[in-house]
Structure 1
């Protein structure tokens, strides 16, 4: 019987493993198919993690985290958890290989992945001029022109954020209306160095060995092609929450979620189902930052220790 089962091995899961084992829990297992570290290990440069003065890769930043957590007793199972159900006071976790585990509490820290837009060149230049995080990568384009693709709140908010760093921001959207809140739209329209490029489809992003050099958009009205010469393209067309483990066979969830499948939690990362917690990008209103995910994991672990008495 486990005290705590952690599903996911990113910053939230690892920090929860560290705090829970150091706080006295004996049987804590982190379920992660690959090497722990999370999505941040794919980032080439990290310069905004507190206390990390030198610019390092995401892989280097996360390198020592698993070792530190396992020093206090965290165990790592290289299994993918496909379902979680609660039977009385006990959670039953089933892995893809059919093996099952019982636990007194569960932390879901599976995260989310940016949704791809699907245009030509997106996969080729992802991470080499194409980004899904303005907070992470905006600084690299200081004083330069960039493009933002999307029409929701995130796209408009990030366009405004980038406008404070970059000389100009092209806001590229396939419609001529936005799905963002009226106040967000108003704020964007008042920002002088944002140019709206609407009612267009992105034909392709192109570049060379050094990365992105521009993108081409096609007008839906007359079919004309326009080229935007930018070294950076930021894509905000939504995220896919990795919530499969808590989904019932009928498509509902074992706890409350919002209409996008993000897990609803309180300030202690508790879900609507007693003993089930969620931390990091899988939860509502996540900031999508390593330091915030780590804070979530610590917050959840502290409360789990109290929950288990």
Structure 2
């Protein structure tokens, strides 16, 4: 028999857990589904020093604290890889690989994933010099040499951010010109801390027992294998929203990001989205939590309206 809830939340990152907290605290029946451990990308993060209330906290520890805070109010958490959804009726259907569930409202909190280079050392040094977020981690590289891989808006914006903190920023780009907006390029080229290596393919990230020390690359023009010393490497070769399940529902933009209003409402009544899966600029734990509080409250308001 298919079990019905007031709200199903797909994704148990910081936004999803916050939405669960707000919804369950309003005495709603809530199911949280996630294919992995609660906390999302926080579990792959070392020290976090930009989340209010903590001078510094480890990602897995913050995940556990958020989970316990939400579970205090009685939502259910189940492991489940969602395989399909049907939002065409008032009662929404969510199927996983081994069960199916119904709810009056659904909150999508599936997040986004950074594209990886797929080179040796990338996974080994994740959290020990390899980063995908300068806003998150730049402070750990104060007055040190760092590398940025990429040539689009995100790479150059984050490179400029890093230049305010690091000793130097070397941009490694596979082409001979940047793809970033002209205004960003102008700022980057004018910044004395920023250097550029063109026509280069990153090949390996190496280091010692503690952290990254070297980034190796192929000079595609000469065929030479070269390297640059660095304490950190920030990778910006793209971010992908986890929205394959929802691309046919007319709620995403041309890049797959889910479009919402300020109330986290999508174009489908009773379906909300929050956090990194949304079409927006800043993707941080703090604003995922903010989105989650709004989504949880607005889902409650939606359910109340069904009784009017």
**Aligned with 2:23: secondary structure?**
helix
Cα distance between partner residues in 2 of 1:96 and 1:188: 48
- Is 2:297 the partner of 1:295? no
- Residue pair 1:85, 1:254 contacting (<8 A) in 2 also: no
Deviates more, 1:143-152 or 1:15-24: 15-24
Matches within 5 A, 1:199-218: 199-218=199-218
SS in 2 for 1:105: strand
Runs (5+) with no aligned partner, structure 2:
none
Q: Does 2:307 align with 1:308?
A: no
Q: CA deviation at 1:295?
A: 0.6
Q: Given that residues 256 and 264 in structure 1 are in contact (C-alpha distance below 8 angstroms), is that contact kept between their aligned partners in structure 2? A: yes
Give the structure 2 partner of residue 225 of structure 1: 225
**How far did residue 244 of structure 1 move?**
3.0
More displaced stretch, 186-195 vs 106-115? 186-195
1:23-46 C-alpha deviation (Å, 9 max, x unpaired): 232x11101233311111221211
C-alpha distance in 1 between matches for 2:212 and 2:288: 30
1:60 maps to which residue? 61
Corresponding residue number in structure 2 for 1:96: 97
Deviations 1:200-245 (A, max 9, x none): 1112211111121111222221123332111111101011221133
**Pick from 263, 266, 274: which aligns with 2:261?**
266
1:69 match: 70
- Residue 40 of structure 1 corresponds to 42
Aligned to 1:7: 10
Equivalent position of 1:196 in the other structure: 196
CA distance in 2, matches of 1:271, 1:189: 40
Structure 1: tracts of 5 or more residues without a match: 247-251
Deviations 1:105-162 (A, max 9, x none): 1111011111011223222222221111111111111001100001111100000000
CA distance in 2, matches of 1:109, 1:193: 38
Q: Distance in 2 between matches of 1:71 and 1:92?
A: 26
Structure 1 residues 47 and 96: CA distance shift in structure 2, 3 A = same
What's the CA shift for 1:286? 4.9
CA distance in structure 2 between the partners assigned to 1:182 and 1:274 by the alignment = 40
1:164 aligned partner? 164
* 2: CA distance, partners of 1:275 / 1:179: 39
Deviation at 1:283, TM superposition (A): 0.9
What is the CA–CA distance in structure 2 between the aligned matches of 1:258 and 1:179, rounded to whole Å? 21
TM superposition score normalised by structure 1: 0.93
Aligned to 2:23: 20
Q: Distance in 2 between matches of 1:85 and 1:181?
A: 39
For residues 23 and 306 of structure 1, the distance between their equivalents in structure 2, rounded to whole angstroms, comes to 10
Q: Which runs of 4+ in 1 moved over 4 A?
A: none
The answer to whether 1:87 aligns with 2:82 is: no
Q: Report which stretch shifted further, 174-183 or 295-304.
A: 174-183
Does 10-19 or 58-67 show the bigger shift?
Answer: 58-67
For residue 2 of structure 1, give the secondary structure of its aligned residue in structure 2: strand
1:248-297 per-residue CA deviation (whole Å, 9 max, x = no partner) reads xxxx4213212221111111111111111111111111522111111111
